[in-house]
Every structure is written in structure tokens, then in C-alpha cells.
Amino acid sequence: MAKKWGIAAIILYAVYALAMYFYIFHISSGGIPDAIKGTVADPQTFMTERELYLSDEYSKIRNFLFFVVTPFEWLMYILILFMGLSKVFEKWADVGKWKVIQNGAYLFLLYLFTTVVFYPIDLYRYWLSKDYGIGTQTFASWMRDYVLDFWINFGTTLIVVLVLYWLIRRSAKRWWLYAWLLTIPFAIFMMYIQPVVIDPLYNDFYPLQDKELEEKILALADKADIPSEHVFEVNMSEKTNSLNAYVTGIGDNSRIVLWDTTLKSLTDEEILFIMAHEMGHYVEKHIYVGMASYIFSILIGLWLISKIMPWLIRKFGTILKIDNMKDIHSLPLMLLLISFLLFLSNPISNYISRYQETRADEYAMELTDDPEAAVSTFQNLAKAGLSEVNPPLLVKLFRYTHPPMLERINTVAKFASKESTE
């Protein structure tokens, strides 16, 4: 029976992947509305023919990968259960008398196996970025980051899994609530140490070196009533040609970070607009709103898993080869449900993020009052990242945490028109 279900799952995934291929490459097309053609939002006015071609091609490949890789993860977990691999890992991990050691060994075997399975996909993404002129990172540097990712993610996952299954054994009915309560300080702690412990493992961060530009940024920060000691630059040019800036951390460790690629590619006016945008996030406390939304979504997710997972085990436990939820070999089913729920929640979380980004754009335009710099900034960001300025609706809903560039440039145009009439 498990074999038949496994074959059915593979066929279903293949049909889905084929359907997504035709949707992404042959059916969907964001296009450019007639009212936008010839304006500053039309990519044909600021991108070369080759950039337009590469942008279209690169975006379609990345969109296709997004929509097929996550369901492939679900398929992998299903096959791990159907084929009995999860129980095999549990048997191999039966070392020592302590349950915590056994569960830790099981997680390492499962995590190593899934990493090996996904390595060709991750490697393809690395070479894809290099081929299209986005990535600049050497393979040795990429592998270093890949191994670093493995151990950091494994370490944090280990803590979460060990605590989670300990709670499930102690309280079969309320484990989800206790797990959520523990998540709150853990999430805050991780966000607090992110800028000063984790991020520096990957890149070098240092105070902004251009002192003349720093004075302009500090003046802008003073105008916005923002503490001025949190502006940093990071040497991202060793890894990418893309442009970016972001806000990270909380409390004393919060900081605004500029990529050195941004500093090298944009004018001072454009950089000031980006900084004003990040200041908008700071002023409107988007980090704290995001953290609260994240914690609330975990509560909903854990509650759903506490209801769905036992039902699945009761209904399909024989096929899934799961005896009891409290046994560690049930972990692939939990990871499958987490991945599935996260995928379904993407449109909601992305909508909230796009709203925050729009608010930050509006704040930046009010603070700088320089629509020309705003337009040229968005145009340069699109060129550097080969961005799809007007993606299809499905892609926008599931992938875009920022408004598409066409919308962002239109927001600037509306702001400039409003200002001129006042």
C-alpha cells in the first residue's frame, strides 16, 4: 500500500511540475500596461534589450524553481516516511540510554540526508546566479557559507526539536501552547544576536567609511529623530552584484546596513533615499510588528499541527509507518506540515511585508522630497538584480515581499504629482 501511495505522490508531483512549467514559461506574463508604456516605469526606457531578455529569462527560471522546490520538499518527506527511512534513521540513532542523545543523532541523520538531496538544487542556484552576472562569489567561498549554514541551522533546529519532542512526551494535549510560550523568548534572543553574532560569520561589517556621505545620512537621521549610531556597511561585493540595504536586530543591537555594492553603484541622493526608506522601517517599528506577526503565526501553526498531525497518524499511521506522534520518527511528517503551512501563509505574510515596504517608500519620499532620486534608485535596483518589474499575479502573491518595481515607481509618480498640485 505504501508503495502505491509513493508512486501516486511522485506522479502527482510530476503533473504539478509540468503544469507550473507551462504556466511560468508559456502562459503567465505580467506584461506592461498600455498606460505605463513609455513612462519612467516602463523597463524599456531604462533597461537595454539584453537586460530585458536576461531579466525575463532569469525571472522565469527562478519563479519555476520556487514553485517546484517546496513541493519537492513535501515529496521528499512523504517518501522518507513511506519507504521506512525515518524508522531506519531512528534505529541507527539508537545510541546510549539518553533519549535526548538518540533524538539528536536521529535529527543529524535526517538533516544530513535532506541536505545531500537538496545539494544539487542549491548548487544549480549558485551557478545560475553566476551565469546571469548576479553572483560573484567563488565556489570555495560559497561552499564555506553552505557548510556554515548547515551547522548553524542544524544547531538551532536541534534545540527546537529536542524541546518540542520533550514537551510532546510530557503533555500530549498542550505541548503546542508550552512550545509557543518558549518560542517568544527564543525568537527575541535570536533576533537580538543576529547582527552581532550570526551575520558577522558570513560577512565583514564596519561603520560607514565615506565620512562625507555619513554626515548627510546623520543629518537625515537627525531630521527623522533616529539614533545615528546604527549605520553600517558590509562587503557584499565579494558575493553579488545586487544592491540592497536593510534594518536588522532589536534594542541596542539594531542597525541599518548598506551593501558596499549599493555604495559603489548609486549616487549620494539615491543612497539617501534608500537610507530614508530604511529609516521609515525604523520609525514605524516594522521590525517589532514583524516579530509580533511571526510569533502569532507560530501560535496558529503549532495549534494546527497539534490537530492535524494526530489525525493523520490515526488515519494513515500504517502507511506513514508512524506509531505515535511522540516518537522522533514522526518528525518528517511534522516538517512536511510546517513547510506546507508556511507555503500557504506566503500570500498573507507577503502582503503585510509589501504594505510595510510601501509605507517605508512613502516615508522616504516625504523625508527626502526627491522623486527623481527615488525613480532612478528603483530603476538601478531593477537593472542590478534583473528584476521582473511586473510579475504575474500568482508570482507576486507567493514570492514578492516588496512591491514590484512598476508599482514602486508609480507610487513615486503619484507622490510627485500630488506634491506639484498642492
Q: Classify residue 326 as left (phi > 0), alpha (psi -120 to 50) or beta.
A: alpha
> What is the rounded CA–CA span in Å between residue 385 and residue 55?
8
Residue 282 is predicted with a pLDDT of 84
Length of the chain: 422
Spatial contact of 252 and 196, defined as CB atoms under 8 Å apart: no
281 annotated as belonging to a binding site for a ligand: yes
Active site residue 34: no
Rounded to the nearest 5°, which phi and psi values hold at 72? -65, -35
Tell me which of 73, 278, 327, 407 is the catalytic residue. 278
> What is the rounded CA–CA span in Å between residue 392 and residue 88?
43
**DSSP string of 212-254, one letter each residue:** HHHHHHHHHHHHTT--SS-EEEE-GGGTBS---EEEE--GGG-
Give me the helix-helix angle, 286-320 and 331-368, nearest 10°. Answer: 160
Q: Which of 78, 71, 79 is nearest to 19 (CA)?
A: 71
Please list, residue by residue across 357-385, b when 16 or more beta carbons sit within 10 angstroms of its beta carbon and e when fewer do: bbbbbbbbbebbebbebbbbbbbbbbbbb
Q: What is the pLDDT of residues 174-222, one digit of tens each?
A: 999 999 999 999 988 888 888 888 889 999 888 888 888 888 888 888 8
Q: What is the pLDDT of residues 85-125, one digit of tens each?
A: 999 999 999 887 888 899 999 999 999 999 999 999 999 99
329 annotated as belonging to a binding site for a ligand: no
> What is the rounded CA–CA span in Å between residue 195 and residue 229?
14
Residues of the chain with pLDDT under 70: 1, 29-30, 228-230, 417-422
Residue 330 is predicted with a pLDDT of 95
Active site residue 122: no
Tell me which of 233, 260, 327, 361 is the catalytic residue. 361
357 annotated as belonging to a binding site for a ligand: yes
CA distances from 169 to 31, 158, 323, 332 (A): 54, 17, 14, 17
State what percent of residues in the chain have pLDDT above 90.
59
Residue 419 is predicted with a pLDDT of 60
Residue type at 389?
V
- E runs forming strands in 229-352: 231-234, 245-248, 255-259
SS3 labels along 98-167: CHHHHHHHHHHHHHHHHHHHHHHHHHHHHHHHHHCCCECCCHHHHHHHHHHHHHHHHHHHHHHHHHHHHH
Q: Which residues contact 8 (CB under 8 A, 6 or more apart)?
A: none
Give me the helix-helix angle, 99-131 and 85-92, nearest 10°. Answer: 120
Question: In terms of DSSP H, where are the helices of 35-84?
Answer: 49-82
